[in-house]
Amino acid sequence: MSFTPNIPNASVNKEYSYLITFPPIYHGIVISGIDKDEIGLEIESITENSFKIFGTPIKSGTIEIKVKYIQEGLFSNKSKEEIFELIINPDPRDLWKDLPVPDDIEYKKENEFTKCVIPQKEGLKNVIAASKRGRSHAQEAKSRDDHFKITFNPDNEWYILAVADGAGSAEFSREGARIACETVWEFCNQKLSENQDFDNAIIAYKQAADSKDEAKELEARKVIGNQLYSLLVMAAYKAHVAINKEATQKERQAKAYSTTLLLSVVKKFDFGWFTSAFWIGDGAICLFDMNNKTAKLLGIPDEGEYSGQTRFVTMSEVFTDSTALFKRLRFNIVDDFTALFLMSDGVSDPMFETDFNLNNYDKWVEFYKNITENQENPVDLSHEKSEEAKQALLNWLNFWSPGNHDDRTIAILY
């Protein structure tokens, strides 16, 4: 039986080293077929019978290694030649294509988008957001389906943050996500500008909470709940209606525009930060505070609650149960916090994997450090660097996670 070495596969861009040792009856071994300039690997003789194949491959494929040798026989020596195969895998990163979206598609949208909001007032936080087309879409010349809108209104000092993730399986979800963000923003901005009712309810609630009178607090909490309902839930409902209208006009099913929605309105009062959120579908909204060591999810990821079934703004059944809708609302008043995150599942899935992890403070610390102390693309979240940070955040979204190549969108208020 002839000698068959078990040469492990190599991979492009990965350092490789393998020692191949031939049986002692092999003499005058000459090896050819490994060309450093062509494949990036070289071979070196260590002893008469062992050779080291090493280097970092630059080209994928199956390499034929030719081995010539003299086999010592009982009566005569035979000159022999054998061929061994060395497989070089491609670097998966090179296999992903970045194909442009055709110019003539309906609802054209940029492959990436980034924005920062810097309020011109001492003590206020900045917002940065970035959104990027996923590799799975780039591979097939498909559009980004995610969308976001972030603003700060200097007149009433409300922040509005919206992130939407168009469903991959829905053909026009990129437009569903855009309509969702634009509609909820317009509605909230108008409502918050109209009068002071909401602001007053928050102030009243804070007073009630400080009074330590439980009945009073409960009463004030109900008022806020109702106000939030008519703000955030109604905004989402307006988005639902607007998307349905567009679908009807184009004689399509609303389902073709399926999108999730993560919405948050935030304001700084003298007594602290009021944060609120409403969220339909997967992804995550989290109020993260390193000083108090807390990470509060401002909602329930749909996946956990409804066993793998994501809900969309386009589903009318989402809006038929007001008790369930109330349960999706969250608000908090805190002295301060490190960051408020809104993100699509293109970010939360690779970073957290499970709902259990999303509820784990330590995982959020890891996540925060992954952004700020990233080896390849760190994002400097110091205040004076926000302009640079938005681009850095977009670069950070390139992070590599095998099997996770969805569109990625993240907004950070910090």
Partner 1 sequence: MRRLPVYLVLDTSASMQGEPIAAVRRGVKTLIDTLRTDPYALETAFLSIITFNTNAHLAMPLTELMSFKEPDLNASGCTALGEALELLSVKSDIDVIKTDQNVKGDWKPLVFIMTDGAPTDDYRYGLAEFKKRKFGMVVACAAGRNANINVLKKITDNVVQLETADSRTISAFFKWVSASVSTSSMKIESGAETGLLSELPPPPPEINVVI
> Would you tell me which residues interact with partner 1 (CB under 8 A)?
6, 8-9, 11, 60, 62, 87, 89-90, 92, 95-96, 135-136, 139, 168-169, 308, 353-357, 401-406
Tell me how far, at minimum, the Cβ of 393 lies from partner 1, in Å.
Answer: 24
Distances (CA, A) of 327 to 216, 221, 298, 409: 21, 13, 11, 25
For the CB of residue 168, give the shortest distance to partner 1 in the complex, in Å: 5
Q: What is the DSSP letter of 170?
A: S
- The DSSP string of 135-166 is HHHHTTTPPP-EEEEEEEETTTTEEEEEEEEB
Q: Residue 178: count other Cβ atoms within 10 Å of its Cβ.
A: 24
Q: Which is nearer to partner 1, 70 or 365 (CB)?
A: 365
Ordered strands of the 294-297 beta sheet: 112-117, 127-132, 408-413, 339-343, 284-289, 294-297
Closer to partner 1 at the Cβ: 44 or 366? Answer: 366
Closest separation in Å from C-beta 100 to partner 1? 18
Closer CB to partner 1, 175 or 406, in the complex: 406
- The residue (of 200 and 354) whose beta carbon lies closer to partner 1 is 354
> Which of 7-35 are b and which e, b meaning 16 or more Cβ less than 10 Å from the residue's Cβ?
eeebbbeeebebebebeeebeebebeebe
Between CA 296 and CA 301 the distance in angstroms is 12
Helix 345-352 vs helix 361-372: crossing angle, to nearest 10? 110
Closest C-alpha to 225, from 306, 326, 125, 308? 326
The nearest distance, CB 53 to partner 1, in angstroms, is 15
Q: Which two tokens stand for residue 10?
A: 């190599």
289 or 302, CB closer to partner 1? 302
In whole angstroms, how close is the CB of 87 to partner 1 at the nearest point?
7
Q: How far is CA 46 from CA 49, 51, 149, in A?
A: 8, 5, 62
Q: Is 212 left (phi over 0), alpha (psi -120 to 50) or beta?
A: left
Question: Smallest distance from the beta carbon of 91 to partner 1, in angstroms?
Answer: 9
Find residue 409's DSSP bridge partners.
131
Measured from the CB atom, the residue of 9 and 190 that comes closer to partner 1 is 9
Write down the least CB distance from residue 88 to partner 1, Å. Answer: 10
Q: Which of residues 174 and 206 has its CB atom nearest to partner 1 in the complex?
A: 174
Which residue lies nearer to partner 1 by CB, 56 or 354? 354
* Shortest distance, position 93 Cβ to partner 1, whole Å: 8
Inter-residue contact 157 to 193 (CB < 8 Å)? no
